[in-house]
Amino acid sequence: MPTTADQIVQTDFEREIQARIDAERARLRAEAGLARMREFKKPVERAFTGPERDYVTILFGGLTWKHEEMIKAVFRSSGYKCENIPTPVVADFQAGKEFGNNGQCNPTYLRSAIWCAICKGSNSRD
């Protein structure tokens, strides 16, 4: 069974190893010309105000149709305009490939194409 002295030596040894790793990481970053990494900070969100209810439409999707209808009913009964994002079809996939990056995955193609259609006000899905 380790003694207290053994535990202290082990802890000091682990600290020294971690310090050497950190120093080497800093040296390699400086050598490569990389800046210190900054952690992501969530931007401040702007509040959704009451007067915006008349001209802002809340879009949501990706849920079952029952959940989407329930959410739509709750928002509309509170005076908000809302629409659920339609289910993607093959034409959406083709449009997503046309407008999207070739490194995107299939779900991203579909969603980005739907967003393009919504923003353009396109009725080509009907």
Q: What pLDDT, on the 0 to 100 scale, is given for residue 93?
A: 75
Q: What is the number of structural domains in the chain?
A: 2
Give the pTM.
0.52
Q: What pLDDT, on the 0 to 100 scale, is given for residue 77?
A: 93
16 and 68 inside one domain: no
Quick: pLDDT tens for 48-103.
888 888 888 888 888 898 999 999 999 999 889 998 888 777 777 777 777 777 77
Q: What pLDDT, on the 0 to 100 scale, is given for residue 70?
A: 94
Please tell me the distance from the alpha carbon of residue 18 to that of residue 12, in angstroms, as a whole number. 10
Quick: pLDDT tens for 15-59.
889 999 999 988 888 888 877 767 788 889 888 888 888 888 888
20 and 66 inside one domain: no
56 and 35 inside one domain: no
20 and 71 inside one domain: no
CA dihedral of residues 62, 67, 70, 75 (deg, nearest 10): -30
Radius of gyration of the chain (CA): 26
